Chains A and B, each alone.
Chain A
Amino acid sequence: MVRQTSRAAPLIALWAEANWVQRAAAIIAILLLLAALLAPLLAPFDPLKQSLISRLRPPIGFERFRDGFLLGTDELGRDVLSRTLYGLRLTLGLALLGACIGLLIGGTLGLLAGLRRGWTEDVIMAGVDLQIAVPFTLIALLILSIFGSSLTVMIFVLGIAGWEQYARIVRAEVRKITELPFIEAARASGGGPRYIARRHVLPNIVSPLVVQFTLSLSNIVILESTLSFLGLGVQPPTATLGSMVGYGRDYMPTAPWIVIAPAVAIILLTFSVQILGDWLRDRADVRLRGR
């Protein structure tokens, strides 16, 4: 318990200095996280349970509303609310996993490239160029058509989706920093590359990495929904927010609620995550804080 309070203290301090947008974003993010974690408890129905006789029922408050289905039903009579909750759960899980894998791969390679230089840098940067040069949707398409669409393949695809951006940014920052006078000084006073990396580089790349992580988290949510939009996402009947939008889009003019619920969830998710990321970035930035 003691440990917890000692950890909570900076959080309270954080909260105190946040503006209302940031507070709202934090609350939304926590609610979404809770909704995702507790989906099995919160969902009023089995998200896969079909009822062909009550297809395409509108949400509460509209004509033809059917008891219990608060946000209406989809094209197979499944509860949109339950599907959105489970979709959120899967989407968030996939995105977090994917973003972490990307950060790990890209960050490590970028650091290596920036510090080692020479052929290591050349090989890594060639890989970066390679990935940049072939639009990622196409790479994803190729991978998904070679290995078929499944959850594992999806995680893999999302994991390698953003690594080159981390690598590029980390390397660029490392280069910028290692040529700054104070690093020269550190080097002159006998600091080895490992010391320089830990002492000077890491603290300085945290902020761009946090920005990139938030961007990439929402990028990944959007990539996942784009792949689903193209019919390449996870296999139905399992749904992510993206595939709900993808499969529901044909019903846009007649039954927009099928699309609106998951679309709103996606937007809230990406919106809140980015506000939070940006907030953290501002705080983490040493130079700004020093002003």
Chain B
Amino acid sequence: MTLYILRTVLKMALTLFVIISAVFFATRLTGSPLETFLGDGLTAEDRELMIAYFGLNGSIWEQYLAYMRGIVEGNFGLSFLERRPVAEIVAERLWPSAQLLLASIGLTLCIALPLGILAAIYRSAWVGSAIMALAFIGYAVPNFVIATFMVLIFAFSLNWLPVVGNGTWAHFIMPTIAMSGVLIAALTRFTRNAMLDVLGQDFMRTARAKGLPEAVVILKHGLRNAGVTVLSVLGLQIAGLAAAGNVVVEAIFSWPGIGELLVQSAITRDYPVLQFGVIAVAAAVIVINALTDIAYAFADPRIRLGRG
């Protein structure tokens, strides 16, 4: 087990290194940042001056080395636009995004797990069909469509809910729902399918044959085994949503989150922010994934023992 964790951690570090390097070179491919945010109205001479000012005048390898050296020292550079440490800028944005993400995960688990289990148990009854139809609808409607229509109805027409920022709990309602729609649908489906797979397995019949009550059979044996699939799906979905998945929702509700920041910095070619933002998000996601993997190993003895 220790070996397994060690391996996971090592892999994490390697992945991060590759990401940092890849993002560095990818952003350099996109052309000088000046083309975008200082572009209009500079003479050739002015451009030289600004390129030197932003420290973009060395060769790409010199810049890469300098950047890597900075990272080792914990210095991730200054934003081209704001001229303040990027760590500070990203830190400001992390918490609002995390809040929204946590709210969405909470809502999703509360709704999707019970629904998924019900749908599996009553797969032939109308309850099952109704739940699945709902899940399909939730999945079919893109989050920005939910968001725009909610804004139109609950804010624009009825004036019930606020639309700007994350000031109060009321501000959380619409963004959380908009973000959770797809998550709930996905998780309900996967919970149901995983449960169905498990319900058909031999050990379930054995458990039933032993005369255990159905609820115990389902919750103890069924959920535990289905949990492997559910966990991996949840991990995947969180990974997807951790940053850029909520870009659109953040934009519509003027949510001061990291997804919006990353898109803005990609568009304006604010490399230092983009790089650090990606690294921060990637690190967060990699850690979540590693934890999922380890949890996966705990949940599934075959993996734990097989790869020990």
Residues of chain A touching chain B, judged by Cβ–Cβ distance below 8 Å, are 19, 21, 122, 126, 129-130, 132-138, 141-142, 145-146, 165, 168, 172, 175-176, 179, 211, 215, 218, 222, 225-226, 229-230, 245, 249, 252-253, 256, 259, 263, 266-271, 274-275, 278, 281, 285, 287-288, 290-291
A134-B281, A168-B236, A253-B152 known; A141 vs B263 contact (CB < 8 Å) = yes
Chain A's interface: helix, strand, loop or mixed, by majority? helix
Contact B248 A229, beta carbon cutoff 8 Å: yes
How large, as a class, is the contact surface on chain B? 35 or more
A126-B15, A129-B11, A253-B156 known; A145 vs B267 contact (CB < 8 Å) = yes
**Residues of chain A with a CB closer than 8 A to B245's CB:** 135, 137
Contact B27 A142, beta carbon cutoff 8 Å: yes
Contact A218 B139, beta carbon cutoff 8 Å: yes
Contact B281 A266, beta carbon cutoff 8 Å: no
Question: Within the complex, what minimum Cβ distance (angstroms) separates B262 from chain A?
Answer: 6
Q: How far apart sit A226 and B248, CA to CA, in the bound complex (Å)?
A: 7
14 A–B pairs (Cβ distance < 8 Å), ordered by A? A126-B14, A129-B11, A129-B286, A134-B23, A134-B282, A135-B259, A141-B267, A142-B266, A146-B30, A222-B142, A226-B144, A230-B248, A230-B251, A274-B136
Contact B243 A138, beta carbon cutoff 8 Å: yes
Q: Does B70 contact A (CB under 8 A)?
A: no
Q: Does B210 contact A (CB under 8 A)?
A: no
Contact A130 B19, beta carbon cutoff 8 Å: yes
Contact B266 A138, beta carbon cutoff 8 Å: yes
Contact B239 A263, beta carbon cutoff 8 Å: no
Give residues 269-290 of B contacting A (CB, 8 Å): 269, 278, 281-282, 285-286, 289
A146-B26, A229-B144 known; A132 vs B200 contact (CB < 8 Å) = no
Q: How far apart sit A278 and B186, CA to CA, in the bound complex (Å)?
A: 12
**Residues of chain B with a CB closer than 8 A to A249's CB:** 144, 148
Q: Does B63 contact A (CB under 8 A)?
A: no
Q: Does B65 contact A (CB under 8 A)?
A: no
**Residues of chain A with a CB closer than 8 A to B286's CB:** 129, 133
Contact of B19 (CB < 8 Å), options: A133, A141, A253, A275: A133
**Residues of chain A with a CB closer than 8 A to B140's CB:** 218, 266-271, 274
Contact B133 A21, beta carbon cutoff 8 Å: yes
Q: Does B219 contact A (CB under 8 A)?
A: no
**Residues of chain A with a CB closer than 8 A to B83's CB:** none
